[in-house]
Amino acid sequence: MTTVTPLNPPRRTLLGPGPSDVPASVSRAMSAPTLGHLDPAFLAIMDEIRAMLRAVLLTDNEWTMPMSGTGSAGMETCMVNLIEPGDDVLIGSHGVFGGRMAEVARRCGANVVVAEGPWGRALDPELLRAAAGGKSFKLVAIVHAETSTGVLQDLAPFRAIADECDALLLADMVTSVAGHRVALDEWGVDAMYSGTQKCLSCPPGLAPVSFSPRAVEVFTKRKTPVQSWYLDLNLLGGYWGEQRAYHHTAPINMLYGLHEALRLVLEEGLEARWARHARHAAMLVEGLAELDLEPIVPADERLTPLTAVRIPDGIDDAAVRRHLLQHFDVEIGGGLGPMKGQAWRIGLMGEGSSERNVALCLAGLKSALAEQRGA
Ligand SMILES: *Cc1c(COP(=O)(O)O)cnc(C)c1O
């Protein structure tokens, strides 16, 4: 084999749907010496991570911890532990991630009822209520922040539906955690998952999850073993809980990164961080208007960490994104599914939500559009 030179990736500004830019102190934390996964010094770090996660999620849930794997591993963790074959599951879907939840639930052997709503709008709770048809369900699942379309979903009506169906409420909070207000206990969320790579501004690789006492009772009293050995919370509880028994080797240095990322969130303050995301999203939308670009989602249903922008007629989606990358080192996202070629997705997540990045993104778009429009 020929000599391979040490890797030297270009420095980009990540303004897509994730991953987001990582603060230097998080990268530094990840390069600290690797400890053994049962070293008392590491166990103390784990305890701090769990305490900080509870503080960020506004919950007292004992079962709050990061899973090894990205956001999708968090999704899979919730599904495989809460569902037994033959269970009835009701899922609201109005984007890619609602669809993915339905697929994962089906693979767990659930009878899945999906209430489909239009992409780019909040899901009408009445669609779910109608799909429920007065039956009971094991689980009602909904995406809190649909990153594929830029929609924020108020969870209160879905808690009410879950109560009517005698079900647990599961929420995908991958993009909302540390960007939007998230209050698990106040909202009555029984199970949730997130990811490190969005508003927590830590590299992809961990998925924080949290379970209410009711949800814990469901997976500790299962009749059948969890079909995934790796994601089985009953086994993992032995490592993250009192016993400290080996299950799989924790990704030590990733957890260092999460420790620092959570510390930064709490140092900034939750309210201040949510407000910062809101401020910069508003600034972005104002600037977009000056370029004759408009957001797809109505203002009161819009996410602040991610803005979906309608691509004007006659503009080449891929060429604009290439221009941003080549001339500005800026990454933004394209549309997914039915929004492919129709939307850009601009992420101002965590560390990336700054006035500088708004200005940079707008300058890049202005330049790219000028090139397209032959100016
Ligand atoms: C990113 C994302 C996921 C999946 O996370 P990965 O880290 O890509 O596995 C799931 N749900 C939502 C809403 C997301 O934004």
Delineate the domains of the chain, giving CATH numbers in brackets.
24-266 (3.40.640.10), 270-373 (3.90.1150.10)
Q: What is the pLDDT of residue 72?
A: 98
| Cα 320-97-277 angle, rounded to 5 deg | 60
**CB distance 76 to ligand 1 below 6 Å:** no
Distance CA 247, CA 259 (A): 21
Residue among 70, 76, 192 whose CB has most ligand 1 atoms within 8 A, to mutate? 70
Question: Structure tokens of 171?
Answer: 């929420």
User: What are the pLDDT digits (tens) for 34-69?
Assistant: 999 999 999 999 999 999 999 999 999 999 999 999
Q: What is the pLDDT of residue 375?
A: 60
Question: Structure tokens of 85?
Answer: 């074959």
CA of 120 to the centre of ligand 1 (A): 17
Is residue 157 within 8 Å of 178, Cβ to Cβ? no
CA of 150 to the centre of ligand 1 (A): 13
CA–CA distances in Å: residue 125 to residues 121, 130, 160, 261, 329: 12, 9, 10, 34, 41
CA–CA distances in Å: residue 167 to residues 27, 132, 218, 223, 279: 41, 11, 11, 18, 36
| Cα 16-17-18 angle, rounded to 5 deg | 90
User: What are the pLDDT digits (tens) for 274-289?
Assistant: 999 999 999 999 999 9
**CB distance 93 to ligand 1 below 6 Å:** no
- For a pLDDT cut of 70, what percent of the chain falls above it? 100
Which atom number of ligand 1 is nearest to the Cα of residue 147?
15
Question: Structure tokens of 74?
Answer: 């968090």
**Confidence (pTM):** 0.97
CA–CA distances in Å: residue 271 to residues 81, 264, 268, 278, 297: 32, 13, 8, 11, 24
Q: Whose CA is nearest to atom 5 of ligand 1?
A: 71
CA of 193 to the centre of ligand 1 (A): 9
Torsion angle of C-alpha atoms 309, 312, 315, 320, degrees rounded to 10: -20
Torsion angle of C-alpha atoms 293, 143, 15, 309, degrees rounded to 10: -10
Which are the contacts of 292, defined by CB distance < 8 A and separation ≥ 6?
A: 312
CA of 372 to the centre of ligand 1 (A): 32
**CB distance 197 to ligand 1 below 6 Å:** yes
Is residue 261 within 8 Å of 30, Cβ to Cβ? no
**CB distance 149 to ligand 1 below 6 Å:** no
The list of the chain residues with pLDDT below 70 reads 375
Q: How many CA atoms lie within 13 A of 142 on its CB side?
A: 29
Q: What is the pLDDT of residue 200?
A: 98
Distance CA 322, CA 310 (A): 17
Return the biggest CA–CA distance within the chain: 67
Which are the contacts of 140, defined by CB distance < 8 A and separation ≥ 6?
A: 89, 90, 91, 92, 128, 158, 161, 162, 165, 167, 168, 169, 170
Residue among 147, 193, 199, 303 whose CB has most ligand 1 atoms within 8 A, to mutate? 147
Q: Give the pairing type, strands 63-68 and 206-211.
A: antiparallel
